[in-house]
Structure 1
Amino acid sequence: MSSVHNAQAVRPTALPANQPRQFYRGGASIAALRGGGDDQEFGPEDWVASTTHRFGKPDSGLSHLPDGRLLREAVSADPQSWLGPEHVSAYGDSTALLVKLLDAGQRLPVHCHPSDTFAKQHLGSRFGKTEAWIVVGTSGADPVVYLGFREDAAPERIAEWVRTQDSSAMLGALNEIPVKPGDTVHVPAGTPHAIGAGVFIVELQQPTDFSVTLEWQGFLASAEDAFLGLNESAALETVNHSGFDDAVLGSLIKRTGGLDSARVPLLASDAEPFFRADRLHGTVELDPSFGVLIVLDGAGKLHCEDGSELALQRGTTAVVPHSAGPSRLDGDLTAVHCRPPATGRR
């Protein structure tokens, strides 16, 4: 590979939409943000700067660079430039991050995700799937999300709900939380949850596609698709059956819509070992880091250490390599900046 090709590979790059077909409806809000007309009915997720493939579908979900290469291959070929030496020392050539735009055109099923420990023991993966949601838009009269059981739920009771596919019992047992733009929710691995119709989020995740779908009937073809290839009993070991009281919910949820400083940290402190996210507005200095920029409004530029620039506007999704160095965002724009965990945090 030529040095010129390498130089191109490690500059901030705007990326096209990457919307693998899903089992649930959505996509209109993604199309509206990007300014395009493709609001495909089953394109509710845009996997941004993804080096993660869908579970059981190794050719689906991966992001391509404009020159046609997979981002995953580019990072693997030059991890120091993309990720930085400290990150590589901690995580190898994994970005340790998956970012999505998710537009819930219908309520998602009740589901949860495995922890790092469970994923290592049962799925052969270093990473489980802790995630966080940044609400960037809502529609409808009552936009809500569902997070954790309201009260402790005995494992055998949960197993009965799953066996009988008692959707009303599962959903009714969860905390129902009204949301508006600027709200953020941290979702630890194991937490049963769902996202209501009309909620549009930027979602940060560990870099896997592991989901245990408790409420599969009406969403998936069969129970065989719900449990990651595990038997049902093993899969249900992922579920946190403890109740989430107001104190727990308060530690996971932030309301940032009224904050308008140049840099607004978005996520609860519990999320810091997994990923970082800030809302940026106007002129902001950025430290060297692999990151993902999603421009929510306005227009501006990202100025890099080597003098190169990347034009940004509403709907731009861009991957920023560590080798961009200390950089500067300026213009009349608002963006979400997503990054992996700081090294040494885990």
Structure 2
Amino acid sequence: MYNEPIFLRPVFKEKIWGGKKLRTVYNYDIPSEQTGEAWVISAHPNGPSVIENGPLKGQTLAEAWESHGELFNKSVDNNEAYPLLVKILDANDDLSVQVHPDDTFAHEVEGVPYGKTECWYVLDAEPGSELILGHNAETKQELEQMMANGEWDKLLRRIKVQPGDFVYVPSGTIHAIGKGIVILETQQSSDMTYRVYDYDRTDADGNQRELHLEKAAAVTTVPHQIPEFNQEESVSVDLNKRKLVQNDYFGVSLWRLNGHVEQTMKADFLQVSVIKGDGVLSLGEKRFAIEKGMHFILPHGIRKFELSGEAEFVVSWV
């Protein structure tokens, strides 16, 4: 049995809207002051995380998924890609307005394994920060007409957010993260994005980024649907668990630890991001120091584990 966590090294992505909070807040060694994303638990070919410890040190998560499927309770006839991707995004400027396809469209039209349903836990937000979630069109024709005419203020729905908010973004939902917001994103393992509007921005060479209006209109849910999801809270003396969402693709919970707890693992494997504080993870006689900015997987076969300290975690599973 593999009796230790799988710690992962983030992969960083420079973006036109990125900043430097991934360094100043999380102490990551970022490539520039326009670093927008840290892919912190990833087996996606566009940015696979590298394992930092144990017998698989130096391998990517994708390689571990392929060659050591038992760590994820993966059946021998499962030829699908690793299903999930976790990121931290630093929006130093507004992200483009975009939409993602569902599994069927992604597979049939783009030839990739997964569409993209995602969710955001707001780690930080400057006062008055807003994001875009949904639209006001009642028909596909109205959506296409408003997009063609550039009626963005009329079309797009905006909401204010603050640290600790949770936002669920099913595939087909028009959305954008606004300036001044840092989020932890849990999503299907997909990099398939259709850009709807980019504020007419240009890059260093004066070029505007490509838009994908035809595909965006094809995959957008019309009219906009506000997703329903039930949040459940479990409170004990030392650990507060709040299930944020559970759907066909993933479950996500927020854990607040203040003391010492023993947990039994019920999922095939757990993805864990330490978003605040520090503590100790114990697996039998083994102890592992954990702190804000660390990300790890508890592999299949670990039945019980212990946590001690004062920390907050975003935990996800298939």
3-state SS of the aligned residue for 1:240? Answer: coil
The equivalences for 1:79-98 within 5 A come to: 79-81=69-71, 83-85=72-74, 88=75, 92=79, 94-98=81-85
The aligned counterpart of 1:57 is none
State the secondary structure of the residue aligned to 1:295.
strand
CA contact (8 A) 1:183 1:255 kept: no
For 1:32, which of 24, 29, 41 is the aligned residue? 24
Q: Give the distance between the partners of 1:184 and 1:275, measured in 2 at CA.
A: 15
Would the aligned equivalents of 1:27 and 1:39 in 2 still touch at CA under 8 Å? Answer: no
1:122-271 map, 5 Å: 122-139=109-126, 141-149=127-135, 151-163=136-148, 166=150, 169-216=151-198, 217-218=200-201, 221-222=207-208, 225-227=210-212, 232-244=213-225, 248=226, 251=228, 262-268=239-245, 271=246
The 1:154–1:293 alpha-carbon spacing in structure 2 relative to 1, beyond 3 Å, is same
Instruction: Report the secondary structure of 2:301's partner residue.
Output: helix
What is the CA-CA distance between 1:161 and the residue it aligns to?
Answer: 4.3
Give the deviation of 1:300 after TM superposition: 1.1
Which whole-Å CA distance do the structure 2 matches of 1:162 and 1:193 have between them?
14
Q: 1:70 Cα deviation (Å)?
A: 1.5
Tell me: CA distance 1:194–1:157, structure 2 relative to 1, closer, same or farther (3 Å). same
Aligned 1:38-77 pairs, distance under 5 A:
38=30, 40-54=32-46, 61-66=47-52, 67-77=57-67
Q: For residue 260 of structure 1, report the CA deviation from its aligned partner.
A: 9.8
Gaps of at least 5 residues in structure 2 are none
Which residue of structure 1 aligns with residue 288 of structure 2?
310
Say which SS state the counterpart of residue 288 (structure 2) adopts.
strand
Match of 2:104, SS state, is: helix
Structure with bigger strand share is: 2
Number of residue pairs matched by the alignment: 305
TM-score (norm 1): 0.78
Cα contact 1:152–1:243 (8 A) shared by 2: yes
Identity of aligned residues (%): 25
For 1:80 and 1:15, locate their aligned partners in 2 and report how far apart those are by CA, in whole Å: 18
Please, which runs of 5 or more residues in structure 1 have no aligned partner?
1-5, 55-60, 341-346
Does 2:258 match 1:279?
no
- How far does the alpha carbon of each residue in 1:253-289 deviate from its partner, in whole angstroms, 9 at most, with x for none? 9799xx9972323424xx4222111122223414153
Query: Could you tell me the TM-score, scaled by structure 2's length?
Result: 0.84
Identify the match of residue 279 of structure 2 among 284, 300, 306: 300
